[in-house]
Structure 1
Amino acid sequence: MFVFAGSVAMISFVLYSVEYFTTRLEAFLFPRKFRLRTALKKISKNLGVISSFRELKDIVLVDIVQTLEVMGGAIVFQYEHDIEIIAEGDIDAAEIKQRLQSSALSEHPLYTCIEIHRHEQYASYLVITRNKANTLLGKEEIQWLHLITSYLEVSLENVHLIRKLTAKMQLLASQLPNEQSAHDIQWFRKVMFELQEEERLRIAADLHDTTMQDLFFLKRRFISLLDKYAMNKEDKEHLNNIVNFVEMINNSLRQSCFELNPFLLKEIGLIETVRSYLDKEAYHAPFVLKFKEERASAIEAKDLTTKKHIFRIIQELLNNAKKHSQASHVTFTMTVADRAFVLTYEDDGVGFKSTEARRIEIGSSGMGVEQMKGRVLHLNGQLQLDSREGEGTRLVVTIPIRETMSV
């Protein structure tokens, strides 16, 4: 009995030790397996926080491409009349789209294509290129990808539903009535505006922390080349042009960040922020752009959210003028009269029929006149729109100074 018990204890100790040291040394003994398992844990954990297609690329697709050491990868959504591709790395999105339309993607020798989900409204696929050694994925990597797609299936369905719900909420917000009964559902507009602002702030932060920083370091590298190496006049001029072009892109991104997050509203107020914004836009606007302010300083006493709503309205009107008005002159006027703030927009463009107002999109934001009206109603204000074909457009926003709602 003593020998038997000792043998069992010894065997148990040996087996436990083997398992323990194998687990500890897995990164050295089985590096490929360890890397795949670690990446799987990370991706499965990150999938729980994904709420948009953009996050699919930043959180999931990047990890898949880096883990498998492939040239590139893509998550493809095939709808009834459209194909949407989220790509990372060196992968030809146009070729994938063409082959998917001809049902030849799965047979392509350079791609590994795995169907993630097939829904009545769409089908989704994970497409991976060859690895950097120009060989196809091995059996172990393909099994790992199939496991990843089983996790992705649920997340993609959730993201699709979130996008669908958000689109319906935006449509509903744009169609809310302007009668007194609309005040009963003001909370809905509040939620929609808050979600839009949060998304703008996130995009502005991403641009500032990633793309703009990358361009800054790229510019410094080019300048260091100019200082370090002796070049002939032609090469030096060519490199200077590249530096100037990088700086021009950086300035454009800086302006985009400001439009997404108008931080100057807090620092210098609404009037000066609008003046600065319109002055910059006047340089490349296809019309003469003017701004007038007449005793409107009382608006500066309002809260930051109210000023931000007014600034967004001005942005949307200006974007609309660029896209649709074909005007030669556009004027914005701010004034305060009878305890109300009045914003007036006027142009001498092509105008439109009053019945078309609901269908006009403002800029690239996809916000129509009705949703812009929602901002005004949220501030307990009124919006008057006067336009006729060939006779320009005049829009007047009136917001009570004392009764403006806070978000």
Structure 2
Amino acid sequence: MSNHKVVCWDCGCDVDDPFTNICPRCGGLLTVKMDLEKVKEKKPTDLAKEPIGVWRYADFLPVDKKHAVSIKEGGTPLYSTKALGAEIGIPDLFVKYEGANPTGSFKDRGMTVGVSHAVELGVPTVGCASTGNTSASLAAYAAKAGLKCAVFLPSGKVAAGKLAQAMFFGAKVLSIDGNFDDALALARKMAEERKIYLLNSINPFRPEGQKSVLFEIMDQLQYDVPDRIILPVGNAANIWAIYKAITELKEVGWIDKMPMLTGIQAEGASPIASAFAAKTNDFVAEENPETIATAIRIGNPISGRKALKAIYDTGGYSTTVTDAEIIAAQKLLGRREGVCVEPASAASVAGAKKLREMGIIDRDEKVVCICTGNGLKDPDTIINNCEPIIKCANSVEAVENILN
């Protein structure tokens, strides 16, 4: 394991309290600073002997591998989507399908590291606020680690597939009056009083695991750095994590350029895209975000300022897509490539299509769309937006009439 320290992202001071998620000096966000000097002596090919998955990149992670709480996360497919790329005008288009993780979303990457760190600290109870995927993932990893788990959900706004997972893995599921931001405020208060160890993305160890998706993409492309990586943005930790991974790979000399990080938000929940349009380094929180893409229905993203830095520093872009564009992209990916993703995931594909039409994305770019979650996370949305089941008489002739 590489050495590391936790520092304030805003003022740069060292933070020694392992239970705090904000800087005691300025109230700023925290981040992990890795000491990668020993990694500089290695080459990407040195990873070949390690099993595929998040812990393949242990040299870049701030948790001792011997404490790893793992259910074989990572190792997700990177699809070369020729049919989809031809349709939207980006021939060299790839989709990184995070729905193949154990609980069906990219959250497992962060949670294996976050829960492993909780085990290092010896905490008895972990918790999170969630629109669904985080709660499903934390509940699974807490179960694997033998920890108590509490999840705080916004009232009535969690997809059935995600809620079922949190309940199945044995978490205490609490429906809180209000939206995600209200649920997070309560979870943070519980953490400040040391009642739970908070594992939302404000925890600086969570994004460290999420970095691994970028390492994996580089492995799968044999370190041929793509021109652009597009991903959905909700609470914004994922785009920051990918940016952090890029800077670390540059630091150790494994890559020599940065892909343009491009963040897509739903039109009804778009504080980052609005800030980008205004060319500001900070965002204005939205009080009542609303979108069919529940996983990114967040009006006050914890890592919003970090996300903007990631976009600006890489020459990237941010825009919004409508719910109708999201559903259309979800169907397009499924019916051209056989890949089933939840609505929030499809935002990256919808964004790629829109930005190509706008001329922001050039036809000859190598583009990776990250699709963050499995379509079965939100089966109701799929059912409600597909053609209805066809009633059919029990005869060959009736079937033929329908098929023709």
TM-score calculated relative to the size of structure 1: 0.24
Q: If you compute each CA radius of gyration, which structure gives the higher value, 1 or 2?
A: 1
TM-score calculated relative to the size of structure 2: 0.24
